Amino acid sequence: MRIALSQLTTGPEPGKNLTLIKEWTSRAADAGADIVVFPEASMACFGTPLAPLAEPLDGPWATAVRTVAEEAGLTVVAGMFTPASGGRVANTLLATGRDVEAAYDKIHLYDAFGYAESDSVAAGSRVVTIDVDGVRLGLATCYDVRFPELFRAHADAGATATLLAASWGAGPGKIDQWELLVRARALDATLWVAAVDQADPAARGDAAGGTAPTGVGHSMLVGPDGTVRHRLGAEAELALVDVDADEVMAVRKNIPVLANRRLGERR
């Protein structure tokens, strides 16, 4: 399976971001990708008032993404915001195209490092996997990477990879934490992790401001043995990576951590 890691920088306007998604999806399709994964907050960057921009999954923004996926002939995974109760929104990953139609609402909200995502976002509760050409993939978003149980739940559901969309917060040590956590989650669940972050706005000369997480780049593909197979830098970039489902079975035979669990084991 060929996955396009689409590390771009989105802005506050959903229409302009949709144009980027269309352009980068076309590039991914031309390169032979089966899936293109965009970051969290692809619809609109953090630091933007989210409630006025949120749309339902049958609204114009998601419908346009479906059209992009259909025309390109691949599966698109992109972060958007959907309405939730109490004037808040859900931080949603839309997965659409190639007989896939699913949405994952971020379970673990980023209430850390001086930022309170839960002030404007309602937490999801459902583990979501998708099947693309017979390969099962889990969906996760940013702060979820600090919680290994979600990635093990993907493995228990039959996934051989997790697609992790992020808009990682900058700060001292945060890039190191990002890589450490992505690699650890791959090892915890012995699955591939395709982690796609927003490119660092500073890489294109935009000054950072406030505590909103706007991305640091450094997207990566990590194998089920925890090794980094492909790593990007800070700037916007599209990378094509290949995932081998058979390697997951081989690693799980040699490192059967899922089968050897005693605490929180699958019932």
The catalytic site residues sit at 40, 106, 142
Partners of 237 in beta bridges:
7
CA–CA dist 4, 106 (Å, integer) = 22
| Torsion (CA) 250, 189, 196, 129 in degrees, nearest 10 | 100
CA–CA dist 99, 78 (Å, integer) = 16
Q: Closest Cα to residue 215, out of 225, 228, 232, 201? A: 201
Q: Closest Cα to residue 178, out of 148, 233, 216? A: 216
State phi, psi for 75 to the nearest 5 degrees: -95, 130
**Which residue shows structure tokens 């959907």?**
82
Listed in sequence order, the DSSP H helices in 45-190 are 60-72, 148-156, 174-189
CA–CA dist 222, 208 (Å, integer) = 28
Q: What is the DSSP letter of 114?
A: T
Listed in sequence order, the DSSP H helices in 73-203 are 148-156, 174-189
